[in-house]
Amino acid sequence: MASYTISNLPAISAAKLADSFRAKTPGISIIDVRDSDYVGGHIMGCLNVPVNTHDYRMPELVRTLRNQDIVIFHCALSQQRGPASALRYLRERDRMAEKGELGIRKDGEDVQRAQRVVVLEGGFVKWQETYGMDTELTEGYAKDLWDDKW
């Protein structure tokens, strides 16, 4: 089993993620782990999987996302909840793969080796600074909730 830590967890910038959206790059899933602070906007098409649901939702999430090339986690700032959730996902994915619970291979390579798990740099706070008003990239944005909040 691989050893994952916050220090070796890769990150993706808001600009690179936005470029992927505009290019309609397939195989990307975004997991927003915010709880009540999810109100006020979110990245288009993301899945909201609040941290307080991870105990019972993480195995389901691993199974659901097993065919995705990139899984991006974020919270408000991507300093605590987002990275911790990404690590939890990686560890659960490895545990399930080791026990044969994923049961699939992709191009002859184990899914756990092919799938990249990353964190969005700066979280939704950074995202909304540039892309909050962009209705092709952000959904349910309430600008007044973000003014002077952070």
Please give the positions annotated as active site.
75
Phi, psi of 5 (to 5 degrees): -140, 165
Rounded-to-integer distance, Cα 58 and Cα 94, Å? 12
Buried b (16+ CB within 10 A) or exposed e, 62-93: beebbebebbbbbbbbbeebbbbbbbbbbbbb
Phi, psi of 84 (to 5 degrees): -65, -40
3-state SS class at 77 = coil
Rounded-to-integer distance, Cα 150 and Cα 148, Å? 6
Strand partners, 105: 110
